[in-house]
Structure 1
Amino acid sequence: MTASARIIAELRQTPRPLRLLGASGQLGYGIPAASFQAGIDRHPDLIGADMGSIDIGPTYLGKGEMATAPEATRRDLRRVLLAARQLDVPLVIGTAGSAGAAPHLDATLAMLRDIATAEKLHFRMVSIRADIPRALLQDAVRSGKVTSFDDMPDLTAEDITEAAQIVGQMGMGPFRHALQAGADIIVAGRACDTAIFAALPAILGFPVGLAMHMAKIIECGSLCCVPGGRDPILAELDHDGFVLESMHPERSATPTSVAAHSLYEQADPFSMREPDGALDLTHAHYQAIDDRRTRVSGATWRDTTQPTIKLEGATKIGERAVLLCGSADPRFIAQCKTLLPKVADLVQTLVSESRPPDYTLRFRVYGIDGVRMVVPDNEPAPNEVFIMAECIAATPQRAAEVVRTCKQYLLHFGYPGRLSTAGNLAFPFTPPEVSLGPAYRFSVYHLLQVDDADALFPIATETT
C-alpha cells in the first residue's frame, strides 16, 4: 500500500485531526536540521514543500534552469525524501525546480531518482506536468478564452510562439488525482502553493476553507511567526479549525503575526483567489493557545463557477551586461539625474556612431531611484549612492562593449563643480562590468478559461 493510500484509509477508518508539516518555504535554500527533526518527531501525516514561484523573475523559467544551487537542492530533497519514507507518509512537492516547466520538473525527478538509488529506496512517484500546449493556446486566443490581468497587454499568437516556456498554475485537482491514484511521492510542475497542502484534507472531507487558509500559511514555513523565519511549521487540522506551531522553539505563531500573514502577496487580506475558487477570511478568528501556538478558525470557501488557469511564459529579450559602481561625491549625486542621460548619449555616439542604437542602456541609482519607481519631491540627497548601468543587446559581446564604454566615460565625465578628473566613482571590484547572460521578460501572464482545469495537467507514475 502506498503512503497516500495508507493515510487516506487510516483517517477514514478512524477520524482524527490531520497533521501537516510545511518543511520549507522554498526547497533548495536549506532546511534547518534541528527544527526539521522536531517536525518529524511529531509524526506528521504529510510532508509538503514548494520549490518556487514567479518571485524569482522570468529568467529561470525562460532558461529552464533552477534558481537554487544543485548541491543545496539535492541536500534538501534528500532530507525530505528520507523523512517521508521513514514515516511512510506522502511527500508532496510543488513548482518543481523553481519554475515548474518541463526542464525543471525533469531535473527534480532526476535528482530524486539518484537519491533513491544511492539510499536504496523504493517508492511510487507520481509526476504532474504543467506545460501548456502551444496549439491549445493559439486556439484559445482566437476564441477569446485568454484574458489579461495586472495591466498585461492582450496575448498574441507571436507571444505564444516566441515564449521559451509556457506553464499553467495547477490547483488542487491534479494533486487529488495523484493522491487517490496511490502515491508515495508527488512532484508537480507549476502549482498553486496552497494545493500542495489542501488536496489531502479535501479528499478526507475537511472544510476546504480551513484547509486552504492553513495551506496558505504553512507553505511559507515559519514566516508567519515572531520572529519570522524559514523553519518548518506544523499544522494540526480538525473540522473546526487548525493549530499552528513553529518547529523552532524560539519562533511563536501569535494571533497577530498569523493574521498579518494574510497580507502576504495579497491585495485584499479578506479574499484570496485560487485556481479552484475563492477563500473568504472575513470571519477568520485567531486565538492564542499558549505563547507559541495559535488556533485559527472561520475561513470559508466558494467553488469557482468558471475555471481559469493562470498562464506564465518568458521570452528572451537579449543578452544582459551590467556596470556596478558607486559615488560619495555630493556634486555628482546632486546632478546624476541630468548627468547620466548625457553619459548615455555620449556612449551612443561612440558605440553606434551614426546608426540607431541596437541596445538599451538604463541606469538605476540605489539611494535615489534604484528601488522606488517614484521619488518624492524635495527629498534630501543621500551621502552616497550605488549605480547600476544595465545594457541589453542582441549578443553578449555587444552588451559588454556598451557597459565597458559606459564605465570609462562615466568615470571621467565632466560636470559643474567637479573637483577632480578621476576618483569620483568607486568600483566594488574589477572588472566592474559583469556579463549576466540571456535576459528574459514575462510575455505570458494571463488567464485561460477552461472547461476542465485538471485535464491540462497530465499525471505519470513510476516506481523506483
Structure 2
Amino acid sequence: MRTMDNEPVESVRVLTPSGMLGAGWDHATVERGIALGADVISIDGGSTDSGPHYLGSASPKTTAKAVKRDLRSALTAAAAAGIPVIVGSCGTSGTDSGVDWVAGIVAEVMAEAGLDLKVARIYSEQNSAVLKEYLDSGRVHPLPPLGELRAETLESCTHIVGAMGHEPIVEALRAGAQVVLAGRATDTALAAAYPLMKGMPPGPTWHAAKIVECGGQCTTNPRAGGVLATIDADGFTIEPLDPAVSCTPTTVAAHMLYETVNPFEMREPDGTLDVRDARYTAVDDRIVRVEGSKFHAADQYTIKLEGARITGYETMSFSAIRDPLILADLDAWAELMHTILRQRVSQTLGLADDEYAFDLRLYGYNAVLDELEPESGPPREVGVMLLVNAPDQATATAVAKVANPLMLHLPAPGMDYLPSLAFASSPAEVERGAAYEFVLNHVVDCDNPTELFRIEMESTGA
C-alpha cells in the first residue's frame, strides 16, 4: 500500500473510472489517473435506479464478461501502483450473493493476471428476524412516503439490504484489505472511505464523493470516462481523466442536483453534507476547485433499509397503432380496450377483476409523463404495451392471450371496420416471470456503524 493509515498526508486522490462497474472505460484513463497520483480506485457496482427486480431476485443487471473486463483494468493498475480498490453495491443490489459473484470474478482475474491481493467481502444483507427486534424496540423509522413498518412487510421480502456508510469499508482497509467488495452501500461511501480514513475533513470529502460517484457525468462529455478528485484540508479539485474533456463549475455544481431531494443537502448514515456555502472555481479550462463544503454530524447514526417482494407474475405483449382514426381519440380507444378486455376475461376465464391486474401503456402518447405531458394533438404512431399481473404465470399469460385479438384488431368507437395493428414479436405474449416491488424505505437506529454488516477477509490469487 502507498501509505500506512497512521502516516499523515496533506491530500488524498480518488480515482473513479466510471459510474458503474461493468459499464466499461478506456484503460488509458485509469493509467492517467495512476500517473497523476491516485491513492485509491473506487467504483460503484450497483443502484436501485433499475427498479426492484435486481434486489428482489438477487440478480445482477451487468454481464460477468463486462464486469471481469473492468475489474482486470482496475486490479492490474491498482496492484502495480500499490493502492486499494473499493467496489460497492456488488451485483447491482448489494445482496450477499452479489458480493460473492463479484468476488468470484475477482478471483478469476487475479489468477489469470498472477496477482495475490487481500480481499475483503462486506455483507449487507439483513435477517428479517433480527430487524423485527429493532422494530419491536422502536429503532426503525419510515422515510417519506412510506408509513410505519409492519413485521409482516419484513417477512414478505425476498431480500433486504442495509446501505452501509464508510465505516465498514474503513474497517476492512485497516485490516489490510487491498480489494474491498462491499454489499449495498451509499454511492458516496465508496469514494469517501479512504480519504476519511486518512484524516481528510468530512465536508470536502463527502462533497467530492458525491461529485465523482457517477464518473464522467460531472464533465462536459459524460461518455468519456472517469475523474480524479484531490481532497485536502480546505476543499477539493475535480479533474477529468480524458485529456479532451473538461470539468466546469457548472458541470460540477450541477451534480448536486442528481438524485437528491435538496440540492444543498445530502444525508449519509452519520450526518448531513451541506453545500450552501460551497464555491466552485475554475482552476483552468479543465479543472474545478471547490471550497466551503460542510458536514453536520447526526445525533443518531442510522442505516437505510431496502427490501423488495414479489407482487405476482407478469406477461407482456406489445402492439403498435398507425391508424389515424384510432389516434385521433386514443383515450377513447384505451378506455374501450379496458372495458372489453375485462368483459372477455370474465366470459372466457371466469376471473373476477381482483384476481388479476393489467396496465395499458401508450408509448408515444403519455406512457412517460401521463397527465403531465405538455404536448397536444394526435401522435403519428403509438406503441401499446400490455402488462398483465396475476398470482401465477399461467393466469397472467391466459389474460394476455385473451387480449391478443384486441391488441391486433380492436376498432375505436364509431369505426365501421377492423383496423390492423402491428405486434412487435411472434408469439406476441412474453412471459416476464416474477414481478417485484420496493416495500422498504426505512432507517434503523444503530449504536455501532458496523453492527448490521459482516466482514470476511481472504487472500485469493496467484
Q: Distance in 1 between matches of 2:52 and 2:230?
A: 35
Q: CA deviation at 1:137?
A: 1.1
**Alignment partner, residue 162 of structure 2:** 168
The match for 1:392 among 367, 389, 393 is 389
Distance 2:351 2:275 in 1: 60
- Structure 2 unaligned blocks of 5 or more: none
Identity across the alignment (%): 35
1:417/1:18 CA distance change after superposition, 3 Å: same
Match of 1:413 among 410, 428, 436: 410
Q: Distance in 1 between matches of 2:177 and 2:156?
A: 36
- Tell me, yes or no, if the aligned pair for 2:219 and 2:246 is still in contact at 8 Å: yes
Q: How far apart are 1:99 and its partner, in Å?
A: 0.5
> Which ranges of structure 1 fall in alignment gaps of 5 or more residues?
none
Equivalent in 68, 73, 78 of residue 67 of structure 2:
73
Alignment of 1:235-384 (within 5 A): 235-333=229-327, 334=329, 335-353=332-350, 355-375=352-372, 379-384=376-381
Residues 341-380 of structure 1: per-residue CA shift (max 9 Å, x gap): 1243234224432645522111111223211243458832
Q: Which amino acid aligns with 2:7?
A: R
With normalisation by structure 1, the TM-score equals: 0.94
| Residue in 2 that maps onto 1:12 | 7
Does residue 459 (structure 1) correspond to residue 461 (structure 2)? The answer is no
- Cα distance in 1 for partners of 2:224, 2:132 equals 40
Question: In the alignment, what sits opposite 1:112?
Answer: 106
What is the alpha-carbon distance in structure 2 between the residues aligned to residue 363 and residue 325 of structure 1? 11
Take 2:206 and 2:390, find their aligned partners in 1: how far apart are those partners?
A: 44
Check 1:182–1:351 CA distance in 2 against 1; reply closer, same or farther (3 A cut). farther
Shift in alpha-carbon separation, 1:356–1:56, aligned structure 2, 3 A:
closer
Contact 1:347 1:405 in 2 (8 A): yes
User: Do residues 42 (structure 1) and 36 (structure 2) align?
Assistant: yes
The alpha-carbon distance between structure 1 residues 275 and 349, as it changes in their structure 2 partners (threshold 3 A), is: same
- Cα distance change of structure 1 residues 377 and 183 upon mapping to structure 2, 3 Å threshold: closer
What is the CA deviation profile of residues 419-450 of structure 1, one whole-angstrom value per residue up to 9, with x for unaligned ones?
Answer: 64132x22233233211121111122211122
Match of 2:194, SS state, is helix
1:450 to 442, 446, 457: 446
Residues 187, 307 of structure 1: alpha-carbon distance in 2 compared, 3 angstrom cutoff:
same
**Partner SS state of residue 243, structure 2:** coil
Q: Shift in Å at residue 142 of structure 1?
A: 2.1
Amino acid paired to 1:410: M
Q: What SS is found at the alignment partner of 2:7?
A: helix
Q: C-alpha distance in 1, partners of 2:77/2:27? A: 12
Closer, same or farther in 2 for the Cα pair 1:354/1:76, shift >3 Å?
A: closer
Q: What is the aligned-residue RMSD (CA, Å)? A: 1.9
- When structure 1 is superposed on structure 2, of 96-105 and 115-124 the one drifting more is 115-124
Which one-letter code corresponds to 1:452 in the other structure? N
Contact 1:343–1:413 (CA<8 Å) still a contact in 2? no
C-alpha separation in 1, matches of 2:247 and 2:177: 32
Counterparts of 1:419 and 1:38, CA distance in 2: 68
> Who is 1:25 aligned against?
19
* Number of residue pairs matched by the alignment: 457
Residue 459 of structure 1 and its aligned partner are, at CA, apart by: 1.3
Match status 1:428 vs 2:430: no
Deviation at 1:230, TM superposition (A): 5.8
Q: Give the TM-score normalised by the residue count of structure 2.
A: 0.94
Distance verdict in 2 for CA 1:39–1:336, change over 3 Å = farther
Distance in 1 (alpha carbons) for counterparts of 2:344 and 2:254: 48
Partner of 1:94: 88
Q: What's the CA shift for 1:38?
A: 2.5
Deviations 1:42-94 (A, max 9, x none): 23110110001111111111111111112111211222111111111000111
